[in-house]
Chain A
Amino acid sequence: MPPTLPSLAPDRLQVLVFGPGFGELVLVRAPPGDWLVLDGCTTRDVASYALAVLDHYHQRNKVRFIAMTHPHEDHAGGIAELVDALMQRRNAPGWPRLGMIWPSPPGELVTGDEQTQFRGARVSQALAAILDRWTHKPACRWDLVRGDTQDLGNAELRVLSPSPAARDEFTAALAAGRAAEFDKNRIATAIEVRWKSHRILLGADLVERPGKGGAQSVTSRRKSPTTALPRSPIMDRSTRCTNPCSAARRRPKSGSS
């Protein structure tokens, strides 16, 4: 692991964002010491940066939530390894909550391009690992329904997207056999972390409403500006962030790191 990882601070909310390999991984540690892992990041030599970080801090048993925001290959890499390592049958009573949007069948094969096939295979493996744990212990299932709130230590997690309408539209597309044409970014999960006076938006590949800012699927009635962390430098190339307002909201407030 790179030597720049900060020490754990018992009274601070800490957020680690990764993108040195393939993926957009975010880890959140909320006082007194609970972790949320959002998506994954992987290279050929480091199968799961999330696992590497947790092992660096010896914090495997402090993970309370794992979520895959949506089934794209640059978010799923490393999730299968993380779930497999943390959620073995023998420690089932202590499993974290495990979240993803469902249903989501395997991606379409692009014949002849094994690189795309490989990435798709890793998504399938992540889906399989999550589905297996859900089946074995239904209580660990986290459906990521908008409005759902969960405690993460002294912080609160609130699911902000996708909207029920986007979800229904995706389901209808699946039933009609048009899943390949549906932009999965429209059902990406966005989670707000609230800690003391801070609110941090964690959202991968959220679809922008052109000219109106915000995410197509996220609505917030709060008048006070939301503190938004920068998204991982690897932005999804299929849905561009064109709204300058979202860039302005990326400056973090003091007190969060």
Chain B
Amino acid sequence: MAFPAVIDTREVVEETLRRIDHGSRRIALVGAPSSGKTTALAGVATHLASAGWSTFRTSMPSGDDAGPLALTLLADQVGSGEVIRNSATTWASKVDATVAATRERAQMSPVLVTLDDPLFEQPGMLPTPFTEHATSLIGALSGIDNVAFIVASSRQVPQSWGQLVKLEVETAADNVLAAFDGGPFATAAKQVKKLGIDRLAKRSPAEVRLVVAIEKSQRQSKAAFEAEMLPLTLLQQALDAWEPDARRALRRLSVLRTPFDDQVLDELLEGVPASTDAMIRGVIVHRTESGWVVPEIVGRAVKPTAWQRDRGAVDDPAERRAHQVARAYHQRAFARAASSDVLLSSIRHELEELHHLTQLNDAAAIFARSVYFVDTYDALGKRSGQLGVRSHGDDQRRLFESAVTAYQRSLDLDDTNAYAHHYLAYNVDWLANNAARAETHYLRALELRPDQVWYHGRWISFLVTCGRVLEARDAWSAAMAEFGDDRPAWLFDELHRQIARLLLQRGELDFAKLVLDDLSDDAASSAWARAERRLFDRLDQAARDQLVFPSSVVPARRWDGPHLVHAEARASVKRWWAGRIETWLNDEVVLRLAEGPDRFGQKTLPASEFRKLLGVPLRRVPAGTFIELVYWRTSKQIFVHPGEVDDVDLPLVIPPADRYLRRAADASLPRT
């Protein structure tokens, strides 16, 4: 957000206006976080509005609702709000209606559309339906003739998109530091000023404030400055210098995506030590006309990335509390805005409340209200499902069922929603109580979106899990045909990795080999691929009844043993066999033994003799344990492997391969 009166964006505004005058219609303002991009956008819009332009402003917050939120805010300004609110209208129709309304406005006067924090397609990254909505909206708006479209971004903007105007920061550092006069940070601010106003002017206001914080807590601002630290490094140092409470508190505050009021600040800083409270209130967050704001640079440093969020979904109590406080705030703010007829503000608060309800996984609250986009149900289903994967027992079952309900609601609105079809299938598949329903929706999703790699992968995995391997092979061939010869790197990570892992888990070795042999050279050299290849080699031997060595013994050196005998004693070994304990039979033990790569056999020993050869009073050694039977000159001895380590690079099998078997077994047990 902006720092009015502390950052000079005149040059950027003038440059942008100049380009518009010369006919440019797609411009991107790019700069570091908190460098004044939003201020510059506001300046351009204000100037053009005074010249008779119609200006419409929207933004894309971080989150799966980026596209829908941006579209809704814009739609209400250009006049397509009713179409947006019709939940039966598809995303494409809503975008078309908004584009049409914008075009219509452009016939009456020149139009400017501004977008803060656009989400562009990232090359090499696998798109999701949520990101596709966001990027398709940008594409649609970019294509409207006679409309100037300006975005402001601190992330990479595709060079082909439009003209780039780079923001060089010009901070009025004097003004930033003057704000600390008379307060607890005054001395620190004075010290920072000595670093040189000219040098400070090249740092954003948020960075200047961070330097004050470092000076206050460590008295090392000079060192930080001399080191020309990058903003994020500066911030990390500041966070490291404070108590852990500071990072956690800022993380809680960062769940809010809009300015917030005093009550939110008080509630989310409750329990934080006084010094940390003072630091946050006095230096880090700052107050704008609309309320308190956590600077973008701080938010980026303390919040998980979207990737981390998706893969590490946990129900953290502190984060839940933050979302509850945020939700309550937006309810209050909505009520205020609605009663004052401030439409755009009320819409934003309504959508923000939905966002927090989704993060809280509050299905009941979401189901009780009208939603504008199927994305809302999809996001809820996604959150439930992600939490379900990391839960157990009844909690897991309840979360998956909630996800299924959410996706079904989505499909009730739009039966062509491939994402909802697929993930309804996936969650039903996890529950393992209705294979037919899972199959129906897996197939429908593939029919609608055959270009989605996950849809292929999970369908193939489902077939393998159900013992329909021939059909799985056909589905694999279909997937390979779909992606053709020009295969991106993510294909192997998202398709081959899990399928090969499952096939190995179920002993489908020929099919697993087919998949592993299909890896590109780069993919084959990845840690997971090498781990799966190692597992395949061992299972291939197992299928021939020839696997005895543990994975810790390098295959090329297997017969350079015995490995369990001290190196110095090996010269005295006359003969040795490697093997496993096959099974225990009351008072006997059956050993599976090998002496060389071509000589295998079994040996049954009385348990008493086995223990005598072991030489140590071990309790019953479990079946499967690796042993070596060593013949010395006049005696023989058995050595036992102390324990084996899992191959840490081997991917997990997700969902669990035996879920249908366990479910059916449980269902068959008599109820007491």
Mask: chain B, 244-288; 1 = CB below 8 Å from A; 0 = not: 000000000000000000000000000000000000000000000
Beyond A111-B644, A115-B547, A174-B665, is A124–B657 a contact (Cβ under 8 Å)? yes
Q: Are A128 and B466 in contact (CB under 8 A)?
A: yes
A44 to B508 alpha-carbon distance, docked (Å): 11
Is A112 a contact partner of B506 (Cβ separation < 8 A)?
no
- For residue A35, give the distance in angstroms from its CB to the closest CB of chain B: 20
Q: Which residue of A lies closest to B667 (CB)?
A: A103
Whether, in the assembled complex, A237 has its beta carbon less than 8 Å from a beta carbon of chain B, the answer is yes
A123 to B469, CA, bound (A): 15
Given A112-B644, A135-B435, verify A237-B506 contact (CB < 8 Å).
Answer: no
Cα of A112 to Cα of B590 in the assembled complex, Å: 17
Q: Say which residue of A104, A110, A130, A136 sits within 8 Å of B622 (CB atoms).
A: A110
CB < 8 Å neighbour of B585 from A102, A104, A124, A238: A238
Please give the distance in Å from A186's CB to the nearest CB on chain B: 15
Q: A112 CA to B465 CA in the complex, in Å?
A: 23
The answer to whether the Cβ of B505 comes within 8 Å of any Cβ in the partner chain is yes
> Which residue on B lies nearest to A133, using beta carbons?
B467
Q: Which residues of B contact A246 (CB under 8 A)?
A: none
* Interchain CB contact under 8 A, B542 and A118: yes
User: Which residue of A has the minimal Cβ distance to B466?
Assistant: A132
Task: Judge whether A88 and B626 touch: CB under 8 Å.
Answer: no
Nearest CB in chain B: distance from A85 CB, A: 7
Provide the bound-state CA to CA distance between A129 and B660, in Å: 11
Interface size on A, residues (CB 8 A): 44
CB pair B644–A128 under 8 Å, yes or no, is: no
B550 at the interface (CB under 8 A from A): yes
Q: Mark A130-154, 1 if CB is under 8 A from B, else 0.
A: 1110011000000000000000000
Residue in A105, A112, A125 whose CB lies within 8 Å of B467: A125
A80 contacts partner chain B, Cβ-Cβ < 8 Å: yes
Contact check: which of A125, A127, A135 meets B507 at CB < 8 Å? A125
Chain A residue nearest to B643 (CB atoms) is A112
Bits for B483-507, please: 1 = Cβ < 8 Å to A, else 0.
Answer: 0000000000000000000000111
**Contact: A122 with B669, CB < 8 Å?**
no
Binary CB contact string for chain B from 524 to 545 against chain A (1 if under 8 A, 0 otherwise): 0000000000010011111111
A206 interface contact, C-beta 8 A: no
Closest residue of chain A to B645 (Cβ to Cβ) is A112
Q: Which of A22, A81, A121, A132 contacts B505 (CB 8 A)?
A: A121
Chain B stretch 596-632: residues in CB contact (< 8 A) with chain A:
622-626
Closest chain-A Cβ to B74's Cβ sits at a distance in Å of: 48
**Measured between alpha carbons, how far is A188 from B125 in the docked complex, in Å?**
53
CB neighbours of A110 from chain B (8 A): 622-624
Cβ proximity bits B634-670 to A, threshold 8 Å, 1 near / 0 not: 0000000101101000000000011011101110111
- Asked if A128 meets B583 with Cβ closer than 8 Å, knowing A104-B665, A105-B665, A115-B592, the reply is no
- CA–CA, A47 to B509, complex, Å? 10
Name the contact of A171 in the complex, choosing from B469, B580, B670 (C-beta under 8 A): B670
Residues of A within 8 A of B664 (CB): 102-103, 131
In the complex, the 6 A-B pairs of residues with the closest C-beta atoms, listed nearest first: A129-B467, A113-B624, A110-B624, A103-B668, A121-B507, A112-B644
Sampled A-B contacts (29; CB under 8 Å): A80-B467, A85-B470, A102-B664, A102-B665, A104-B665, A105-B661, A105-B662, A105-B665, A111-B646, A113-B623, A114-B535, A114-B538, A114-B547, A115-B545, A115-B548, A118-B547, A121-B507, A124-B657, A127-B661, A128-B467, A129-B467, A132-B435, A132-B467, A132-B660, A135-B436, A174-B669, A175-B669, A237-B583, A238-B585
B residues adjacent to A (C-beta < 8 A): 435-436, 465-471, 505-510, 535, 538-545, 547-548, 550-551, 580, 583, 585, 590, 592, 622-626, 641, 643-644, 646, 657-658, 660-662, 664-666, 668-670, 672
Given A116-B623, A128-B467, list of 5 further CB < 8 A pairs? A44-B543, A111-B624, A114-B538, A124-B506, A125-B506
